């Protein structure tokens, strides 16, 4: 990076431009296995600053400089999405306003933390139901750019369903608003002699000429963040064309978004939770299919190791809460502490939560689900009060954070952290997965948590990453697990996205032709490869090897 780019950007922008050692170090990590130290951090004050930044980068790139821009919002990505050795554009310092909350939507900037966004939407009793488990630490920028999902995705779908409009800065520094266009509106856009017009012309042709391939490659599982969502652009029911649906989930590789209009929902008010304590995983597929009949709003799970860690770190978790809540939860957790002390920890805890307009309706569903399991060898419990179910939610939501605590020098290593398989394949898939993982039982321990109702598993190995032989496991085990997942019609990532860790698997998942279409799409939006290079298109296994963290 030349000094002149820093000077040019400092002059061109109202926001800050820094290359201080602390700022670069902070932006060199997310929550993935990787580190990349950027050369500059830019904190734009507004969209004009983002435009000025991209224009300068465009000029520098055209004149042969090796520069690019990578967006960062909360920086909680688990795939390496916001990491770069070039320029980071950081949205949380200034572009952090909720612009409007309407009757069924909100307009927001990317740098708003979800926790603050929800405070605003709740003033109208509305929420974005696709919020992720990282809701306290992540921001809207990544929720949209990763196409995040979470505990309510089973009932409400992922963020792609709620993104209506995106104001974006394109790769030449021009701006556009992507939203649903009728046929006539699309034809008007195609007449524009700008990059926006070019994108509409070329994308319409690409989508039309390859419609069969794209439809054939549409993910068959209920959630997916892998690849570029070409299958989402044309809505056949409404006969509209919406590029916002493609930018959603594209990890900042096609455009930078500066304002989003997101649809919101009114959550159902009453919840009852059926908690299932399972000691024999062989009956898991049958349990899942029986419980799903009652249409839970959430169906989540965590394993014995997560359970034990939660008890171990209970004092730490309680410290972050007020005294009254901590005291109540401390008492609530006594049975769990006893289970750990006596070795009676269940292999897996499943939480099926039913949400309805009245507590009677919610309870009725939980009871029906419980009855359907009555003759199976397991323990169940119904929690009718949100205070009673809270402890289960705390363990589930904290499952990854628990791993990131200092566990005797072991590093929580997400590389098979988010695959999805159709739940009806569990009985065949899970024993095969166990066999693969069993080969590594002396080399690392791992926890499993996830969205069991969606078939979405979060497996996080805990490893001493400072040892080269352990780092090798990442590239040895990853392909084995993903081959199996793909052979059962699954996807490599349901919500955490591709980033550095999964981009190299896209050809395996989607085939040569479809990944060729991803490359063409990238080239249509970003011909100079300015936005977040190496993610979605062009990333390699050598990138994984080179940029993996080398100490715990
Ligand atoms: C404890 C924990 C639990 C998690 N649970 C979940 C979960 O349940 N579901 C889930 O989906 N994820 C989960 N994640 C991963 C991550 O938190 C989410 O994907 C989150 O939505 C990322 O938001 P962020 O603002 O932190 O994104 P960042 O890390 O800042 O960025 C993520 C990606 O979005 C791009 N981006 C950011 N802002 C913009 C913008 N304005 N324009 C274009 N591109 C942009 C970045 O370049 C990057 O590629 C979890 C992570 C942790 C640490």
Q: If you average pLDDT over residues 417-441, what whole number do you get?
A: 93
Is residue 219 in contact with ligand 1, taking CB distance under 6 Å? no
Is residue 91 in contact with ligand 1, taking CB distance under 6 Å? yes
Nearest Cα residue to 202 out of 542, 517, 501: 517
Q: What was the pLDDT predicted at 395?
A: 83
Is residue 160 in contact with ligand 1, taking CB distance under 6 Å? no
Cβ atoms 408, 462 nearer than 8 A = no
Whole-number Å distance between alpha carbons of 475 and 274: 38
Q: What was the pLDDT predicted at 247?
A: 98
Q: Is 6 exposed, middle or buried (0-12, 13-18, 19+ CB in 10 A)?
A: middle
Output 325 or 543, whichever has higher pLDDT.
Answer: 543
Query: pLDDT tens digit string along 217-270?
Result: 999 999 999 999 999 999 999 999 999 999 999 999 999 999 999 999 999 999
Q: How far is CA 230 from CA 81, 89, 183, 251, 515, in A?
A: 20, 26, 18, 14, 11
Q: State in Å: Cα 17 to ligand 1 middle.
A: 23
Q: State in Å: Cα 33 to ligand 1 middle.
A: 15
Q: Is 261 exposed, middle or buried (0-12, 13-18, 19+ CB in 10 A)?
A: buried
Query: pLDDT tens digit string along 170-213?
Result: 999 999 999 999 999 999 999 999 999 999 999 999 999 999 99
Q: If you average pLDDT over residues 358-362, what whole number do you get?
A: 94
129, two tokens = 């139901």
Q: State in Å: Cα 130 to ligand 1 middle.
A: 12
Cβ atoms 314, 285 nearer than 8 A = no
| pLDDT band, very low/low/confident/very high, at 448 (cuts 50, 70, 90) | confident
Q: Which amino acid residue places its CA nearest to atom 44 of ligand 1? A: 252
Q: SS3 breakdown of the chain: % helix, strand, coil, rounded to 5?
A: 45, 20, 40
Q: Which atom of ligand 1 is nearest to the CA of 92?
A: 25
Choice from 47, 53, 96, 146 to test ligand 1 binding pocket (greatest atom count within 8 A of CB): 146
Query: pLDDT tens digit string along 147-175?
Result: 999 999 999 999 999 999 999 999 999 99
Is residue 250 in contact with ligand 1, taking CB distance under 6 Å? no
Is residue 146 in contact with ligand 1, taking CB distance under 6 Å? yes
For the chain, state the CA radius of gyration: 23
Residue 524 has pLDDT above 90, yes or no: yes
Greatest distance between any 2 Cα atoms in the chain = 73
Q: State in Å: Cα 65 to ligand 1 middle.
A: 29
What contacts 431, CB < 8 A, 6 or more positions away?
none
Residue 392 has pLDDT above 90, yes or no: no
Q: State in Å: Cα 87 to ligand 1 middle.
A: 18
Cβ atoms 195, 172 nearer than 8 A = yes
CB atoms within 10 A of CB 526: 22
Whole-number Å distance between alpha carbons of 433 and 331: 37
**CA geometry: angle 206, 212, 214, nearest 5 deg:** 60
Q: Which residue has the tokens 């290079």?
A: 533
Q: With pLDDT > 90 as the criterion, what percentage of the chain qualifies?
A: 80
Query: pLDDT tens digit string along 498-509?
Result: 999 999 999 999
| pLDDT band, very low/low/confident/very high, at 2 (cuts 50, 70, 90) | low
Is residue 145 in contact with ligand 1, taking CB distance under 6 Å? yes
Q: Which atom of ligand 1 is nearest to the CA of 499?
A: 49
Choice from 141, 248, 298, 320 to test ligand 1 binding pocket (greatest atom count within 8 A of CB): 141
Query: pLDDT tens digit string along 24-57?
Result: 999 999 999 999 999 999 999 999 999 999 999 9
Q: What was the pLDDT predicted at 442?
A: 87
The residue count of the chain comes to: 552
| pLDDT band, very low/low/confident/very high, at 113 (cuts 50, 70, 90) | very high
Choice from 69, 70, 75, 77 to test ligand 1 binding pocket (greatest atom count within 8 A of CB): 77
**CA geometry: angle 510, 516, 520, nearest 5 deg:** 130
Whole-number Å distance between alpha carbons of 86 and 122: 38
Beta strands 298-303 and 240-241 are: unpaired
Q: What was the pLDDT predicted at 140?
A: 98
Q: Three-state SS string across 296-327, please?
A: CCEEEEEEHHHHHHHHHCHHHHHHCCCHHHHH
Q: Average pLDDT of the chain?
A: 93
Q: State in Å: Cα 139 to ligand 1 middle.
A: 7
| pLDDT band, very low/low/confident/very high, at 3 (cuts 50, 70, 90) | low
Whole-number Å distance between alpha carbons of 545 and 472: 8
Residue 402 has pLDDT above 80, yes or no: no
Q: How far is CA 64 from CA 41, 69, 373, in A?
A: 21, 15, 65
119, two tokens = 């405070």
Q: Which atom of ligand 1 is nearest to the CA of 252?
A: 44
Cβ atoms 349, 379 nearer than 8 A = no
- Lowest-confidence pick of 69-78, 408-417, 521-530: 408-417
Q: What was the pLDDT predicted at 98?
A: 98
Is residue 504 in contact with ligand 1, taking CB distance under 6 Å? no
Q: If you average pLDDT over residues 410-415, what whole number do you get?
A: 91
DSSP code of 535? Answer: S
Beta strands 16-18 and 40-43 are: antiparallel
Q: What was the pLDDT predicted at 341?
A: 66
Cβ atoms 488, 219 nearer than 8 A = no
Q: State in Å: Cα 78 to ligand 1 middle.
A: 7
Is residue 532 in contact with ligand 1, taking CB distance under 6 Å? yes
Query: pLDDT tens digit string along 460-500?
Result: 998 999 999 999 999 999 999 999 999 999 999 999 999 99
Q: State in Å: Cα 215 to ligand 1 middle.
A: 27
Whole-number Å distance between alpha carbons of 329 and 394: 10
Query: pLDDT tens digit string along 309-337?
Result: 887 877 777 777 777 676 776 677 777 76
């Amino acid at each position: 990076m030349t000094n002149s780019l820093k000077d040019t950007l400092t002059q061109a922008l109202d926001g800050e431009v820094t290359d201080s050692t602390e700022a670069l170090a902070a932006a060199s990590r997310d929550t993935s296995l990787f580190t990349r130290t950027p050369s500059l951090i830019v904190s734009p004050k507004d969209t004009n600053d983002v435009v000025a930044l991209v224009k300068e980068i465009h000029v520098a790139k055209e004149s042969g400089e090796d520069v690019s821009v990578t967006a960062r919002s909360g920086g909680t990505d688990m795939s390496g999405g916001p990491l770069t050795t070039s320029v980071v554009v950081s949205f949380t310092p200034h572009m952090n306003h909720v612009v409007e909350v309407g009757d069924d939507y909100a307009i927001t900037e990317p740098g708003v933390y979800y926790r603050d966004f929800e405070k605003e939407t709740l003033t109208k009793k509305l929420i974005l139901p696709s919020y992720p488990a990282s809701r306290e630490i992540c921001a809207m920028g990544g929720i949209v750019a990763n196409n995040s999902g979470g505990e309510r995705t089973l009932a409400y779908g992922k963020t792609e369903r709620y993104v209506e409009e995106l104001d974006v800065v394109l790769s030449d520094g021009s701006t556009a608003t992507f939203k649903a266009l009728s046929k006539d509106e699309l034809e008007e856009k195609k007449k524009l002699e700008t990059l926006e017009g070019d994108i509409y012309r070329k994308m319409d042709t690409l989508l039309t000429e390859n419609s069969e391939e794209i439809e054939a490659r549409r993910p068959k599982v209920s959630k997916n963040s892998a690849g570029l969502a070409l299958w989402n652009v044309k809505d056949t029911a409404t006969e509209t064309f919406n590029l916002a649906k493609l930018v959603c989930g594209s990890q900042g590789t096609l455009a930078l978004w500066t304002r989003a209009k997101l649809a919101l929902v009114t959550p159902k008010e009453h919840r009852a939770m059926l908690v299932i304590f399972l000691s024999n995983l062989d009956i898991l597929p049958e349990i899942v299919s029986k419980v799903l009949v009652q249409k839970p709003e959430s169906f989540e799970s965590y394993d014995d190791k997560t359970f034990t860690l939660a008890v171990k770190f209970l004092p730490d978790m309680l410290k972050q809460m007020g005294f009254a809540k901590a005291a109540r939860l401390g008492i609530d957790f006594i049975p769990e502490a006893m289970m750990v002390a006596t070795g009676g920890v269940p292999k897996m805890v499943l939480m099926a939560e039913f949400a309805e307009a009245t507590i009677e309706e919610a309870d009725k569903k939980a009871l029906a689900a419980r009855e359907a399991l009555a003759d199976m060898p397991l323990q169940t419990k119904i929690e009718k009060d949100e205070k009673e179910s809270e402890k289960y939610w705390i363990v589930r939501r904290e499952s990854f954070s628990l791993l990131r605590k200092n566990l005797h020098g072991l590093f929580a290593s997400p590389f098979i952290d988010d695959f999805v398989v159709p739940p009806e394949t569990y009985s065949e898939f899970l024993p095969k997965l166990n066999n693969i993982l069993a080969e590594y039982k002396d080399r690392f321990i791992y926890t499993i948590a996830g969205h069991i109702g969606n078939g979405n598993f979060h497996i996080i190995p805990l490893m001493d990453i400072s040892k080269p032989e352990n780092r090798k496991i990442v590239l040895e085990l990853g392909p084995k697990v993903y081959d199996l997942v793909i052979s059962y019609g699954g996807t490599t990532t349901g919500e955490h996205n591709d980033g550095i860790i999964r981009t190299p698997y896209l050809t395996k998942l989607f085939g040569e032709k479809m990944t060729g279409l991803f490359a063409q799409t990238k080239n249509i939006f970003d011909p100079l490869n300015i936005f977040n290079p190496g993610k979605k298109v062009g990333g390699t296994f050598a990138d994984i090897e080179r940029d993996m963290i080398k100490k715990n």
